[in-house]
Every structure is written in C-alpha cells, then in structure tokens.
Amino acid sequence: MIDKTWLYDLGWPYQDDATTQSQDAFLIGRVIRQDRQYYTVETSAGSKRARLPGKTRNRASRKADLPAVGDWLRIAISATHDGIADILFQYPRKLSLCRQATGEVKEKQVLAANIDLVFVISGLDQNFNVNRIERFLMMAWSSGLPAVLLLNKADLFVDPYAQLKALEPVLSGTPVHTISALKGTATEAITSYLGAGKSAALVGSSGVGKSTLVNFLMGKEHMETKAVREFDDKGRHTTTHRELCRLPGNKGLLVDTPGMRQAQLWADLEALTDFYGDIFALAAACKYTDCQHAQEPLCNVNAAVKAGGLSQFRLTQYQKLAAYIA
C-alpha cells in the first residue's frame, strides 16, 4: 500500500486512489528529473532511474507524448540488467506548461507536467525587458495556467519604480513581487502561492536567478548557479536539466528549468478553445461574427465583463493570445 500522504504531498492530482491498485508489478512515481532519455522517478520506495522501453519510445510520434518532468508514471519493480527500470504507463496529464520546441520542426514541448501555476522571473538589472516578460506570461496563459511575476535582484535597486511603471500595460492583473533570491528578501511571497502538493514552474531567461531562488527555498545548494559555474571553463549553460524540487517542510514543489533565450509559445486555436471556451461561448452571441470584443456595439463578451461574469484580465489574456496566433 502506498502512503496516501506521501502521494498527495508529491502532488498526486487524480481523484482515483492509486492505493487501490495492485502494487505487485509496478511502482507509482513522479518524474522529478530528466536527462535526455533517462528519468529520475520519485516513488514510495525511493527515487529510481527509469527509461521507456525502446519499442514505446520509437512508437511515440510526438515529442509531447513522451514523459516529462512532473509526469506520473508506473515503472517496473525490477530493474533491467543495467539497474534502470522500464516505464510501463504514463498517467494522463492535467495542466502542463508547454512551449514550441526549438528546432526545425514545429512541435509542442512539455516543460513541466501537472503543475498549478507558473512563476515568471526576471532580473531588475540589464536583463529587464518588458516584451520578454509579456511573452513568458503568455506562455503560461497559452497553457491554461495562472502566472505570477517575480522581479529579482531587488538588492541592487533601491526603487524599481521605472521598471514597475513600464510593466503596467502588460501585467493587466498579473500579481507581481519584487524579491531578492540571493538575500532571501520577500521570498515568502512565493511560498504563499504554494503549499503541500502544489507544483509551480519557474521560467525566465538565463541568469535571472531561478536556481538561486530554488537554492534559497531549498535551504541548500541544490541547483548549480552561474556564480558556481564561473569557476570552471566549460562555458556551458548553468542549469542543463529540468528538475522538480521538493521544498522542505512540505511547502510545495518547484520545477527549475534551464534558461530560455526566447519564450516560443505553443498557442493555437486548439489551446485557445481548450482554455478559453467560456469566451468562445459568449462570443457566439455577439452581434458581429467577427467581433473583436473591443468597441463593437452589442458585444456579448463585453456585456459579460460589465455584468461581472467575466474578468477583464481574462479577456485581455485571451485577446493577446488570439492576436498572437492571428
């Protein structure tokens, strides 16, 4: 029998209870780390290395169908000769943070599976760029996830008034917190969004302090940061893998990701209809079939905003994504 508390603290998102399943042939666990085709899976029997059997791996036609950090799996109890367990089954995902994979082929990539929210992190220093921040926020929205913006390196700025002012037009309701990951200032703002079994992904460009923040919250040097790496000459990106980190004291789970040069969105009509179905339904009753829900008369969407049935923030998210895919 699996300890239920263990399961829920690790973020088990399903109604049905895994404890009722036969535990003879497999272990249930969550992917906490991925290094190419190898997965580290946290199970009730400790963390195990696992891999898809070759057959399954080759059959998966889409990258996004392969397991990703945050996925729940069943893996074989007995490892193969090289000590690596076979992945037997992947549970269907709840909400996941996705983007368009880098490379020639246009395809979806799952950055973090089964998460509850996204922390977009930016430095207040020379890295600060309003358009880039907006793009990262849109990455969360296009995945159906709420976003919280963290402006880091506040220790270097007495008053980030100019940056906050510049952000006003793109935030449109997104909560924003000014923090210092290095000094641990205002980091309780982050944990206030989490809690036992709640998972969030951290995204932002390289060097904004994602790993420094994870380390502060973990209370130890868990992820490598740039400062550490500066002493070697490998010239590699600092964080090279995605990892789901369990915050001590059961404060929640955080996925650290390698920095992204660009937030390439995976936004298409399918994602929009999936996550903004309420707006599509309202729009069906607008007077004009091509209504943009801006200044048009007899716009049912804006009528819903006025009546309080739809938030202006949600409409703005939808409109930004719709403009992006148009």
Ligand X SMILES: Nc1nc2c(ncn2[C@@H]2O[C@H](COP(=O)(O)OP(=O)(O)O)[C@@H](O)[C@H]2O)c(=O)[nH]1
Residues that bind ligand X (CB under 6 A): 152-153, 155-156, 180-182, 204, 206-212, 225-227, 238-239, 259
| Spatial separation of the C-alpha atoms in residues 95 and 257, rounded to whole Å | 17
Which amino acid is it at 107?
E
Q: Write down the least CB distance from residue 101 to ligand X, Å.
A: 20
- Reduced to 3 DSSP states, what percent helix, strand and coil does the chain have, rounded to the nearest 5? 30, 25, 45
Q: Write down the least CB distance from residue 187 to ligand X, Å.
A: 10
Among Mg ion, Zn ion, ligand X, none, what does residue 114 contact (CB within 5–8 Å per kind)?
none
Contact yes or no for 63/101 (Cβ under 8 A): yes
Which one of residues 299, 305, 310, 315 is an interface residue with Zn ion (CB under 5 A)?
299
Give CA angle at 103 (99, 108), nearest 5°.
30
Which amino acid is it at 136?
F
Q: Write down the least CB distance from residue 178 to ligand X, Å.
A: 10
Show contacts with Mg ion in window 195-224 (CB under 5 A): 210-211
Show contacts with Zn ion in window 191-220 (CB under 5 A): none
Contact yes or no for 310/300 (Cβ under 8 A): no
Q: Write down the least CB distance from residue 8 to ligand X, Å.
A: 29
- In order of 10, 25, 130, 199, the CA distances from 250 in angstroms are 9, 29, 34, 11
The answer to whether 286 contacts Zn ion (rule: CB under 5 A) is yes
The answer to whether 293 contacts Zn ion (rule: CB under 5 A) is yes
Any idea how long the chain is?
A: 326
The answer to whether 282 contacts Zn ion (rule: CB under 5 A) is no
Contact set with Zn ion (CB under 5 A): 286, 291, 293, 299, 301
Contact set with Mg ion (CB under 5 A): 210-211, 238-239
